[in-house]
Homo-oligomer: A and B are copies of this chain.
Amino acid sequence: MRRVAVVGIGMTKIGISDKSQIEMFSEAAMEAINNSAIGPKDIQALFMGNYLGDFEEGQMNMAPMCASELGMTYDVPSVRVEGACASGSVGIREAYIWVASGFCDIVLAGGTERASAMGTSLATRTFAMGSDSRYESFCGATFPGVFAMIARLYSAKYGIPMEKLKEKMAMVAVKNHKNGVKNPLAQFQKEITVDTVLNSFMVADPLQLFDCCPFSDGAAAIVLASEEVAKRLTDKPVYIMGVGQGSAGPLYRQRDITRIRAREAAAAQAYKMAGLSPEDIDVCELHDCFTIAEILAYEGLGFFDFGKGIQALENGETEITGRIAVNPSGGLKAKGHPIGATGAAQAYEIVKQLRGECGGRQVQGAKFGMTDTLGGDLATSVNIIYGV
């Protein structure tokens, strides 16, 4: 297997857009293509994530539409992948193997979503189709509901009083909003306080509005190339060191959902392939769809012991200047969560960090970075480790 590098990245502003998903993807992809010093005709395949283009815009089979919009010709395969909120990362992992295998030299990957179009209430119900439809989602197990249950279990399992847990969860939102201020592409560029969170309206007890990430519009794209091609195209190749993906079924088949087993499996695969361990990671963009989710990820990715996530947070260890910078982009919470694009947006940030191009939110001397993307009810998890 050949080494694979990222040679170009692009991302739209995340937020609320009146552009179509195809237009947003084209914008991000053209930026990534220009950033790669190639042209659209050099691309040999496209893999893109999208979650609910049909409900959002009546648009399925979006991949060839995007390929065509970019001027890519008939003989370029274009594939849409869907793994709920992890779709973008699933696409990057597919793109990786086509280059690593030697089959392609240059491949475009990314994702797009216009998640705001439905409005939050309808979107919450619609997006819950990523849960099990037979026994779970129809009885009200939306994503806020599921993560609220997880927060309650977490509180009980580790003996952390709910008042205290809520305050610590709020600190996740405070940190990520603080980071988002320094990210010109973030949806929210405004600091908040613990009180902002605790005074916001209740969504699914104990999760309040500011414990929840928004539904966002946006797209992101990256260009992958073989090591040989990458060295011709850029002085700053960022390598994919390891990839991992895990799966889990409906919640009723998962045990102790304070542990996300699909993530633990995916991360283990990625670490093993990269020959790295959690201590080696300098910066991580992880799936903070809810504040409790960030705490779970600290532990599931091996950065901190199980049950110790909130201590790490309290000690500032996940700040940009901490032991491991978590969500310097602002994360899903502040940068925004353009569902099918989220994994690619995470990759955008990590590559930018490893290139040292992040200005006020730069993690100094970052050598290894990781993305962590979760889809459905803890059902799809993708972890990718990048390095320079």
Contact = CB atoms under 8 A, between A and B. Distances in A.
B247 A54 contact: no
B380 A69 contact: no
Interface string A74-96: 11111111111000001001100
B137 A61 contact: no
Contact of A247 (B76, B81, B250, B266): B76
Contacts of A129: 54, 58-61
A205 interface: no
Contacts of A93: 77
Given A75-B265, A90-B79, A94-B94, A52 B61 contact: no
A41 to B, nearest CB: 13
Contacts of A268: 75
Contacts of A262: 64, 74
Contacts of A269: 75
Interface in A51-78: 51-52, 54-55, 57-61, 63-65, 67-69, 72-78
Nearest to A262: B74
Interface size class of A (residues with CB under 8 A): 35 or more
Contacts of A376: 60-61, 64
Given A58-B138, A60-B52, A97-B101, A247 B82 contact: no
Contacts of A20: 134
**Copies, count:** 2
Contact of A133 (B52, B59, B63, B69): B59
A1 interface: yes
Nearest to A84: B61
A130 interface: yes
A83 B101 contact: no
A299 to B, nearest CB: 16
Contacts of A80: 81-83
A31 interface: no
A261 B68 CA distance: 13
Nearest to A76: B247
B133 A250 contact: no
Contact of A82 (B1, B22, B60, B74): B60
B250 A65 contact: yes
A68 B376 CA distance: 13
B74 A265 contact: yes
Given A246-B75, A247-B77, A1 B103 contact: yes
A269 B1 CA distance: 22
A68 B22 contact: no
A250 B59 CA distance: 12
A68 B248 contact: yes
Contacts of A82: 60-61, 80-82
A285 interface: no
Interface in A309-355: none
A61 B379 contact: yes
Nearest to A55: B54
Given A52-B54, A82-B60, A137-B58, A247 B380 contact: no
B78 A79 contact: no
Contacts of A98: 97
Contacts of A264: 74
8 contacts: A22-B134, A59-B133, A61-B83, A63-B380, A64-B248, A74-B261, A80-B83, A101-B101
Given A58-B129, A61-B376, 11 more contacts: A1-B103, A58-B138, A60-B82, A68-B379, A74-B248, A74-B264, A78-B247, A80-B82, A80-B83, A97-B98, A97-B101
